[in-house]
Chains A and B, each alone.
Chain A
Amino acid sequence: MAGQRDFYWRRLHSLLGVVPIGIFLVQHLVINHFAVYGEESFNKAAGFMAGLPFVILLEIFIIYLPILYHAVLGVYIAFTAKNNVAKYGFFRNWMFKLQRWTGIITLIFIAWHVWETRVQIALGNAEVNYSLMEGILSSPFMFWFYIIGVVSAVFHFANGLWSFFVTWGITQSPKSQRVLTYVALFIFIAVSYLGVRTLIQFAYGV
């Protein structure tokens, strides 16, 4: 069939957003949360992840390539929408707009975050441990940049999960979609807590 490529590209985009990117996001924030239990605890957890077999392949195929693909098509999707919440200020329309905005914010954040941690580590300028993050987050500007970036990423994941369930035809009725709105809200609050709590630990040591 001619001209069905968009369909497959968009379905892949939707799938990758949850598997593996969404799962990776939650796992990343859970591991980071070990910082709250102390420096040693964090270094042990981060060391465990870094010591996984084939770690470079895992990173490339589970993290880098899916995020890169999701980001490139996502930016295109975000800029083809014509937001109209001023005229049609419904809840879901706001979520639609915020999904696109948080996507862009998250992309900027991730680009900087990868540069500052992964790339610097690869260049031999830094080492993955508690003090690296402590050093970054001791600046109030970076602390707030990280807060906005992490909350954006979690919102994009939680609301994206809601869309994922519609896109794959799992939630069809208005009632099931409403229930999933509350589930997504819970996920947003719970995962945001993990991320923000960790940032406070790194920045203020409490």
Chain B
Amino acid sequence: MAEKSTVTFIITRQDSPDSEPYEETFHVPYRQNMNVISALMEIQRNPVNANGEETSPVMWEMSCLEEVCGACSMVINGTARQSCAALVDQLEQPIRLAPMSTFPIVRDLIVDRERMFDALKQVKAWVPLDGTHDLGPGPRMPENKRQWAYELSKCMTCGVCLEACPNVNDKSDFIGPAALSQVRLFNAHPTGAMHASDRLEGLMEDGGISGCGNSQNCVQVCPKGIPLTTSIAAMNRATNLHAFRSFFGSDETL
């Protein structure tokens, strides 16, 4: 492969949450095995655009640089993914970077993913602390259940599934696939299961599980390969049963 001396990036920028977005082009010196983040770092070191003009450095978020934190999600050549795991050699050039438009834009490639944390609150995606004193070891979990639950626990709230979902947009209040799958995770946990119906109630609230339209983009784009659509179908079953039971009453109280 012929060595390229520079790589061209076309970046959708925005100076503040309310200002108009615009595109700016950069030529970044090519280095072997570089990823999108290392290119952005290069722009930060030398913020000169393709016209040779000095400009403000492009802002983005990052943390772990190994695809486990979820901070560096952005739209790369049209599809949302982690920029740390996006290798320049594997991307079509010029490389187009844009913020995930489903979320409010803070600046340039930085978005505000707070709605995902609000969604986790809606479905109570945690195991409540039941006392400050030592209660001893919790109930055991079957190994095969632990294995699939572990896959669900890989969710890093990166927002890629929300960006790809056609039903998550400013016309709908759908909380998105990530939080739905977290209900399955915490309801599978032996201690978490003691609050299973609280979470199902959260799924029944407006913007909850009924917002899913089965486009199944989420499971295709999830960088962690989480079986989101299996989780959604499982939660559909659990939520429907819960709705029937609480509507008609049942001896199975949970």
Contacts and interface: CB of A to CB of B under 8 A. Distances in A.
Contact of B240 (A1, A9, A169): A169
A197 interface: no
Interface string A165-194: 011111111100100000000000000000
Contacts of A170: 237
Interface stretch (A39-47, A61-69, A89-97, A121-129): A89-97
Interface residues of B, number: 40
Contacts of A163: 213-214
A173 B236 contact: no
B35 interface: no
Given A1-B201, A7-B205, A169 B166 contact: no
Nearest to A5: B206
B91 to A, nearest CB: 15
Interface in B217-254: 217, 220-221, 227, 229-230, 232-241, 243
Interface stretch (A21-29, A77-85, A140-148): A77-85
Contacts of A168: 236-237, 240
Interface residues of A, number: 38
Interface in B43-75: none
A190 B168 CA distance: 35
A51 interface: no
Contact of B164 (A5, A7, A84, A97): A84
Nearest to A79: B171
Contacts of A2: 205
Interface in A93-130: 93, 95-97
Given A6-B210, A87-B79, A169 B233 contact: yes
A186 to B, nearest CB: 19
A88 interface: yes
A10 B229 contact: no
A93 B217 contact: yes
B233 A172 contact: yes
B167 interface: yes
B166 A81 contact: yes
A3 B79 CA distance: 34
Contacts of B234: 169, 172
Contact of A11 (B166, B201, B211, B240): B240
Interface in B69-128: 78-79
B179 to A, nearest CB: 15
A42 B239 CA distance: 45
A42 B208 CA distance: 47
A87 B239 CA distance: 31
Contacts of A167: 212, 214, 236
Contact of B214 (A1, A8, A166, A172): A166
Nearest to B227: A174
Contacts of A9: 210
A121 B233 CA distance: 44
B246 to A, nearest CB: 9
A10 B204 CA distance: 11
B209 to A, nearest CB: 7
Contact of A80 (B172, B220, B238): B172
Nearest to B203: A7
A6 B212 CA distance: 12
B156 to A, nearest CB: 20
B216 interface: yes
A172 B237 contact: yes
A4 B205 contact: yes
Given A80-B171, A80-B172, A166-B232, A88 B205 contact: no
Given A93-B166, A174-B229, 15 more contacts: A1-B201, A4-B204, A7-B239, A81-B172, A83-B166, A84-B217, A88-B220, A92-B215, A96-B166, A96-B215, A163-B214, A166-B214, A166-B232, A169-B236, A169-B241
The 8 closest A-B pairs by CB, nearest first: A169-B237, A96-B215, A10-B210, A92-B216, A172-B233, A169-B236, A82-B169, A7-B204
